[in-house]
Amino acid sequence: MNGIKFYLEYPDRKEKNKGTRKKLGNHKHNVVAIIDDTRRISGSEVVSDAIGAIFYTDNSPVGSTAVSNSYLNEFCKRISEEQAREIHSELFKYLDD
């Protein structure tokens, strides 16, 4: 999918650091889709427009949001679209619509 980067959410930095691209580890079963070229400053944070989970449940329904770069760095790991589709099918119901 052009123009979108996918990030797998983790409960904390420790779990994120344990995960690898092949063995993703203990994650939240939700993916954030960052829309390229939408970075802006909000307060003291750099944020990007995104589509992300609206509940703290596996494969949560999604909605539009903004995600800070600090959140991505702390709790998320970049993954492929293929991995994202396997993990968070609700996200792709929204994106493919």
Alpha-carbon distances of 81 from 6, 44, 88, rounded to whole Å: 6, 30, 10
Residue 97 has pLDDT above 90, yes or no: no
User: For residue 10, what are the contacts with CB-CB under 8 A and spacing of at least 6?
Assistant: 16, 19, 25, 26, 27, 28, 75, 76, 77
Q: What percent of the chain has pLDDT over 90?
A: 92
* pTM flag (> 0.85): yes
> Taking CA 53 as the corner, what is the angle to CA 13 and CA 81, rounded to the nearest 5 degrees?
80
pLDDT digits (tens, 9 = 90+) for 70-93: 999 999 999 999 999 999 999 999
